[in-house]
Homo-oligomer: A and B are copies of this chain.
Amino acid sequence: MHTFSVTLPDWVAEELPAGPLLTDTDRMALVHRLAARNPGEGGGGPFAALVVESETGRLVSAGVNCVLSSGLSVAHAEVVALSLAQTRLGGWDLGADGLPAHELVVNWRPCAQCYGATLWSGVRRLVVAGEGAELEELTGFDEGPVPEDWAERFEQRGIAVTVGVLRERALEVFAEYGRGAAAGEYTVYNARGNGG
C-alpha cells in the first residue's frame, strides 16, 4: 500500500447545480446544503467547500469532510475540494499562469491544517460564512491554533478574504450537528485533549 486516496461520496453529485453559481450567496447556500447532509451520510463533520471560478461562477469541484469515510484525518472538506480541483485542472497551482482566478468557499474559517492548505493551493480568494468560537462550542471540534491576524496573512499572499456570507445558516448546521453528537449519533474526531 504505497497509495492513499479520497473519493467523494456519490450523493454529493445529487446536490450540484447544472449551471454556474453566480453570487456569493448562491455558492454558500450550496456549501450549507452539503455540510448539513454530510454527517448523516457518514462522511464526517458538518463541513463542505467549493472551488469556483471567481468570475464565471463555474463550479470546479465540491468537497465534504471525508475523515470517517476515507479513514484519513487530513480529508477535511477544504483539502478534498482543493485536491479534486487540482486533479481536474492538472496541477498543484490553482493560480498558475493561463488559468482563471479560483476561489475557495467554505462554511467557516479553516482549521489550523486547512488554513495552510488554502495558502498553498493557488486560490486567489477565500469566502467563509463566519469565524469565531461558535464552531467549536456548537460542534465540539478542536480547530487548533490559527493566528489572530489570519485574514491579513492571506491578503499578504494575494488571497482576498470575505467573511460573513449566510452566517446564521452556518450556525444552524453546527447546532444541529452538536445535538446529534450529544445524542451519540455522530463521531466527533479530532477531539483529543481539545487544546485548552
Contacts and interface: CB of A to CB of B under 8 A. Distances in A.
A157 interface: yes
A79 B87 contact: no
Nearest to A112: B116
Interface size class of A (residues with CB under 8 A): 35 or more
Interface stretch (A1-9, A17-25, A34-42): A1-9
A1 B84 contact: yes
B120 A73 contact: yes
A7 B87 CA distance: 14
B72 A83 contact: yes
Nearest to A76: B120
Interface string A134-150: 00000000101101001
Given A1-B84, A4-B5, A92 B67 contact: yes
Contact of A73 (B1, B117, B147, B195): B117
A121 interface: yes
A178 interface: no
Interface of A: 1-8, 10, 13, 67-68, 70-75, 79-80, 82-84, 86-88, 90-93, 95, 111-117, 119-122, 142, 144-145, 147, 150, 153, 156-158, 189-190, 192-196
18 contacts: A1-B87, A2-B7, A2-B8, A2-B13, A3-B8, A3-B87, A4-B5, A71-B90, A73-B86, A73-B92, A112-B115, A115-B144, A119-B142, A122-B192, A145-B153, A156-B196, A157-B193, A158-B192
